[in-house]
Amino acid sequence: MEIQFNIIYTTGTVKHLRLFVFSLLKWSDSAFRLVANACSPQEMRLLREVCQKSPRLEFLALPYKRPSPHDKTLSYLQSIERSDYFCFMDSDMLATGDFMGEMSPYLSGHAAVFSGAPIWCTREEQVLPTTLPRVRGQFSRTADGVCLGSSYFAIYDNRVLTQFIQSTGIDFRRYWWREVAPQYQGLLAGMGLKKDRFDTGKLLNLLLAAEDKPIVFVDSQFLQHIGSVSIRGALKASSNPVNLLKSTRWAPAVKLRQWIKRLRGGRASAGADGVTPDAERAEIHKMRGRMMATAVYFDQLFDSLFENKPLPPVPHVDDPAVEERVGSVTAHIVSLYGEFEQQLEPSAAH
């Protein structure tokens, strides 16, 4: 079975996250396409140099001058895929064991296999509350057990996926309810999923399954996804971080501004009755706090490793299991860096 994953790199993430490629090569026989999404010339050079380390690696620069949103990027990559599978994973995903051994048993009976929940997200927080009006990225299933898929890690049967996209016109885009065709609105409403907004790939996944093309989310013990690294990386790489945060086009900045507004007492995401229950609002607040704490910590950890400085202490968060995972992933990253540090050194030609 020939599997090639697309790994998408955004501005400011390449220097550190190229390390994780060596974990993927170590623990699988898969191939990997390293995709530059409006990266700097220096970052693209680093990706090309990594690709010279293994015949299972190749480089691709997206044909856009500006940063491409994740949904547009996935739709483009799928449109040029000619193999039996369309696969992708986030660039801040670390392998610690035979992850394809976990996924392979599901491939023959499913149109898509997903994984990669962020380490800061508890299992309960991956369940879509019935009162939330938006199907966001971290939700992998509903309270009724309906699989929502993931835009973090996916292996699609590309023949099934291509036929579905061509016949329905629905791809990885984010959709507002008003953009959903009436026949699909009725189907979703009958499932209790009349929502204002569907995040990247969520509508596609739901309707794919509704057409008797089963999909499944696998909780992997061998894939560790940090999550939210792109915000920190882009801010550090930007010559004007303030303007970047004010951007109306950069998706992470839009999400960050919305979160800050809610924390300052603005209107929280409303439920079906227009109001998010206080308990759910508090849980969202806790999860977002955990997300930012871990993103900042791993950014500091990378800086310490690459600059040979003392490692930062593991942050204290509100969930012991998350804190334990952060500590475990830290140990894996430190070990990985020790094993492959020399592979990250600049090419002699530069």
Q: Which of 197-206, 235-244, 287-296 has the lowest mean pLDDT?
A: 235-244
Residue 350 domain-assigned?
Answer: no
- Is the predicted pLDDT of residue 125 greater than 80, yes or no? yes
Q: In terms of domains, do 217 and 235 share one?
A: no
Give pLDDT tens digits for 222-232: 999 998 776 55
- HSE-CB for 220 with a 13 A CA cutoff: 30
| CA 243 vs CA 101, 246, 250, 292, 322: distances in Å | 44, 5, 11, 20, 33
Q: In terms of domains, do 174 and 274 share one?
A: no
Q: What is the CATH number of the domain that holds 153?
A: 3.90.550
Which pLDDT band holds residue 288 (cuts at 50, 70, 90)? confident
Q: In terms of domains, do 216 and 238 share one?
A: no
Summarize the confidence of residues 266-271 as an average pLDDT. 43
Residue 150: φ, ψ to 5°: -155, 145
Average pLDDT, the chain: 88
Q: In terms of domains, do 123 and 94 share one?
A: yes
Last-in-domain residue among 203, 223, 243 = 223
- Is the predicted pLDDT of residue 240 greater than 90, yes or no? no
Q: What is the pLDDT at residue 264?
A: 44
- 304, amino acid identity: S
Helices (H), the chain: 14-17, 19-26, 41-51, 70-80, 99-107, 158-168, 182-190, 202-210, 229-237, 241-246, 251-263, 278-306, 320-340
Per residue in 274-302, is it b (16+ CB within 10 Å) or e — as a string?
eebeeebeeebeebbebbbbbbebbbbbb
Q: In terms of domains, do 192 and 340 share one?
A: no
Q: In terms of domains, do 249 and 296 share one?
A: yes
Using CA atoms, how far apart are residues 19 and 22, in angstroms rounded to an integer? 6
295: nearest Cα among 350, 345, 196, 228:
228
Per residue in 13-49, is it b (16+ CB within 10 Å) or e — as a string?
bbbbbbbbbbbbbebbebbbbbbbbbbeeebbbbbbb
Q: Are 333 and 28 in contact (CB under 8 A)?
A: no
Could you please report the per-residue DSSP string of 163-201? HHHHHH---S--EEGGGS-HHHHHHHHHTT---SEE-TT
Residue 275, both tokens:
């109001």
Last-in-domain residue among 223, 250, 272 = 223
Top-confidence residue, 279 or 195 = 195
Which pLDDT band holds residue 244 (cuts at 50, 70, 90)? very low
Residue 349 domain-assigned?
Answer: no
Q: Residue 70 is part of which domain span?
A: 4-223
Q: In terms of domains, do 124 and 170 share one?
A: yes
Give pLDDT tens digits for 33-81: 999 999 999 999 999 999 999 999 999 999 998 999 999 999 999 999 9
Q: In terms of domains, do 123 and 256 share one?
A: no
Residue 18 domain-assigned?
Answer: yes
Q: Which of 22-36, 193-207, 219-233, 257-271 has the lowest mean pLDDT?
A: 257-271
Give pLDDT tens digits for 133-151: 999 999 999 999 999 999 9
Q: What is the pLDDT at residue 236?
A: 54
Last-in-domain residue among 223, 242, 272 = 223
Three-state secondary-structure class, residue 223: strand
Q: Are 236 and 12 in contact (CB under 8 A)?
A: yes
Summarize the confidence of residues 120-143 as an average pLDDT. 93
Q: In terms of domains, do 234 and 204 share one?
A: no
Using CA atoms, how far apart are residues 337 and 309, in angstroms rounded to an integer? 13
Based on the structure, what is the number of domains in the chain?
Answer: 2
Q: In terms of domains, do 188 and 45 share one?
A: yes
